[in-house]
């Protein structure tokens, strides 16, 4: 991509930091909702994205940045506006703008070896492309890089950063430890930010969305239904993380269920998709389709059934963080969960798209491969980068996917 001139980027950044354009955008989104009530997923997501942009950049409340495993329900409970820079980084890449913030971060001495979710997030922050945060919330999971990422963000924006220490185990003790930290955090925020917490409505929405997710998961276990194009569900990541606790997630999952039920086409092979995927426009989904490789379950959209009790909000959210973190980061727990999916979804194989610089997921590759092979399940590791095109060899995906499909065919 040809990099735009500095003056243009500076003007863009200037505009992003003014409220006026987003008031206009808000008026436009209202008009759009009235004129074109969304009838399909694409239109619905488009309108949700515009509305979120208008809210976040128009600063209609406290903008709170959070790391992926920090529960958005906590933020909605005090009427904050959650913003997940790691998810926004994916959106930037999907729009084809990744190179600009990546280059900015590298210019500021962030190595190309740093995970591009963080590198892109830092570059976009240095450019002031993201909505300015009131404060930052993070957990020490999913990876230690997240902690450093948020610590640097704290320096860039000079706003408070609160980090939850997530234990490595999943036990009632660990849940209580997290609950105590969340409660402390709520007190601090009440004092320092003057916020108050209301849990009922938020938990009601989140619980409803979660049961919809479970319903969708059950439908995806059926062999006559398939979400296409393969890996598309990962584009809906914001609904699984950023919008949990907002009514919008419930409406989205209702639409997704209807879309799934209306699917008429299936593919010969049923696969699990581990880790995330390249978010920039790429031939990957069409290659998967060409070789008959359908994706029936994605690791990052498989949430855990957990009870959200408004009378015990901190314990409920403590449990959510503990279970998510444990099942993603503990090698044995992760492998066990994946093997269980193989059975539940009648999957034949798995693909993991390794992220350049991600020690967290790749450290487990040998163990994962060994365990899957023992059970007779093939796994394909594709190496590349989810956001930074420079670290990919797209031409080679074809050969690997083709050979993998040939293995599945037997």
User: Among residues 335 and 360, whose Cβ is nearest to ligand SF4?
Assistant: 360
Minimum distance from residue 70 beta carbon to ligand SF4 (Å): 13
User: In the window 270-289, what residues touch another protein (CB under 8 A)?
Assistant: none
226: nearest Cα among 269, 273, 290: 269
- What is the sign of the dihedral through the CA atoms of 256, 257, 258 and 261? positive
User: Among residues 325 and 360, whose Cβ is nearest to ligand SF4?
Assistant: 360
Burial 309-330 (b: 16+ CB within 10 A, else e): eeeebbbbbbbbbbbbbbbbbb
The answer to the question of residue 264 lying near another protein (CB under 8 A) is no
The answer to the question of residue 407 lying near another protein (CB under 8 A) is yes
Which stretch, 20-28, 204-212, 331-339, 353-361, contacts ligand SF4 (CB under 6 A)?
Answer: 353-361
Minimum distance from residue 355 beta carbon to ligand SF4 (Å): 4
The answer to the question of residue 373 lying near another protein (CB under 8 A) is yes
Size of the site for another protein (CB under 8 A): 14
* Binds another protein (CB under 8 A): choice among 148, 211, 346, 393: 393
230: nearest Cα among 193, 180, 167, 277: 277
- What is the sign of the dihedral through the CA atoms of 220, 225, 231 and 237? negative
What does the alpha-carbon distance between residue 268 and residue 122 come to, in Å, rounded to a whole number?
A: 41
The answer to the question of residue 142 lying near ligand SF4 (CB under 6 A) is yes
The answer to the question of residue 355 lying near ligand SF4 (CB under 6 A) is yes
- Only one residue has tokens 């390794």, namely 354
Token duo for residue 23: 């008031």
The answer to the question of residue 403 lying near another protein (CB under 8 A) is yes
Token duo for residue 158: 């000079």
219: nearest Cα among 230, 210, 209, 227: 227
Size of the site for ligand SF4 (CB under 6 A): 10
What does the alpha-carbon distance between residue 153 and residue 237 come to, in Å, rounded to a whole number?
A: 22
The answer to the question of residue 21 lying near ligand SF4 (CB under 6 A) is no
Q: What is the DSSP letter of 234?
A: G
The answer to the question of residue 356 lying near ligand SF4 (CB under 6 A) is no
Complete edge-to-edge strand list for the sheet that includes strand 161-164? 81-83, 63-66, 135-139, 161-164
Minimum distance from residue 172 beta carbon to ligand SF4 (Å): 26
User: Among residues 261 and 403, whose Cβ is nearest to another protein?
Assistant: 403
The answer to the question of residue 111 lying near another protein (CB under 8 A) is no
The answer to the question of residue 30 lying near another protein (CB under 8 A) is no
User: Among residues 86 and 246, whose Cβ is nearest to ligand SF4?
Assistant: 86
* Binds ligand SF4 (CB under 6 A): choice among 361, 372, 384, 404: 361
The answer to the question of residue 194 lying near another protein (CB under 8 A) is no
Q: Are 90 and 124 in contact (CB under 8 A)?
A: no
What does the alpha-carbon distance between residue 269 and residue 348 come to, in Å, rounded to a whole number?
A: 7
Kindly give, in sequence order, each residue whose CB lies less than 8 Å from that of residue 171, ignoring residues fewer than 6 positions away.
322
116: nearest Cα among 240, 5, 279, 243: 279
User: Among residues 165 and 307, whose Cβ is nearest to ligand SF4?
Assistant: 165
Kindly give, in sequence order, each residue whose CB lies less than 8 Å from that of residue 218, ignoring residues fewer than 6 positions away.
none
User: Among residues 62 and 275, whose Cβ is nearest to ligand SF4?
Assistant: 275
* Binds ligand SF4 (CB under 6 A): choice among 64, 122, 124, 143: 143
Minimum distance from residue 85 beta carbon to ligand SF4 (Å): 10
The answer to the question of residue 374 lying near another protein (CB under 8 A) is no
Which stretch, 34-42, 142-150, 184-192, 337-345, contacts ligand SF4 (CB under 6 A)?
Answer: 142-150
Tell me the CA distances in angstroms from 391 to 91, 113, 279, one per residue in order: 18, 10, 13
> What number of CA atoms fall less than 13 Å from residue 257's CA on the CB side?
17
Point out which residues bind another protein (CB under 8 A).
Answer: 366, 373, 378, 383, 393, 395-396, 399-400, 402-403, 406-407, 410
Point out which residues bind ligand SF4 (CB under 6 A).
Answer: 115, 117, 142-143, 145-146, 355, 358, 360-361
């Amino acid at each position: 991509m040809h990099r735009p001139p500095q003056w243009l980027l500076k003007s863009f950044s200037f505009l992003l930091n003014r409220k006026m354009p987003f008031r206009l955008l808000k008026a436009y989104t209202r008009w759009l909702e009235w004129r074109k009530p969304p009838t399909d997923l694409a239109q619905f997501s488009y309108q949700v994205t515009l509305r979120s942009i208008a809210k976040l950049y128009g600063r209609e409340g406290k903008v709170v940045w959070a790391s992926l495993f920090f529960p958005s329900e906590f933020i909605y409970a005090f009427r904050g506006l959650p913003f997940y820079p790691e998810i926004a980084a994916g959106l930037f890449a999907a729009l084809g703008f990744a190179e600009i913030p990546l280059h900015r971060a590298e210019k500021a001495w962030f190595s190309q070896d740093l995970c591009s979710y963080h590198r892109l997030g830092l570059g976009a922050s240095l450019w002031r492309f993201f909505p300015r945060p009131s404060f930052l919330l993070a957990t020490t999971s999913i990876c230690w890089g997240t902690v450093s990422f948020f610590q640097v963000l704290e320096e860039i924006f000079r706003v408070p950063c609160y980090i939850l220490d997530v234990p490595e185990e999943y036990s009632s003790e660990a849940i209580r430890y997290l609950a105590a930290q969340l409660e402390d955090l709520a007190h601090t925020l009440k004092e320092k930010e003057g916020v108050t917490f209301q849990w009922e409505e938020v938990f009601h929405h989140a619980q409803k969305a979660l049961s919809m997710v479970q319903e969708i998961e059950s439908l995806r276990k059926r062999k006559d239904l398939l979400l296409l194009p393969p890996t598309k569900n990962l584009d809906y990541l914001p609904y699984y993380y950023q919008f949990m606790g907002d009514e919008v997630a419930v409406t989205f999952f209702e639409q997704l269920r209807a879309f799934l039920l209306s699917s008429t086409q299936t593919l010969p092979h049923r696969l699990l998709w581990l880790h995330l995927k390249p978010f920039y426009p790429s031939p990957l989904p069409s290659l998967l389709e060409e070789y008959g490789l359908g994706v029936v379950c994605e690791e990052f959209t498989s949430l855990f059934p957990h009870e959200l009790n408004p009378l015990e909000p901190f314990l409920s959210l403590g449990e959510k963080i503990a279970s998510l973190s444990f099942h993603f980061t503990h090698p044995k727990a992760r492998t066990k969960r994946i093997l269980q999916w193989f059975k539940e979804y009648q999957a034949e194989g798995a693909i993991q798209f390794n992220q350049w610089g991600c020690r967290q997921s790749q450290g487990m590759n040998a163990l994962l491969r060994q365990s899957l092979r023992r059970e007779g399940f093939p796994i394909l590791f594709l190496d590349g980068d989810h956001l930074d095109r420079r670290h990919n060899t797209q031409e080679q995906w074809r050969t690997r996917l083709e050979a993998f499909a040939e293995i599945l065919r037997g």
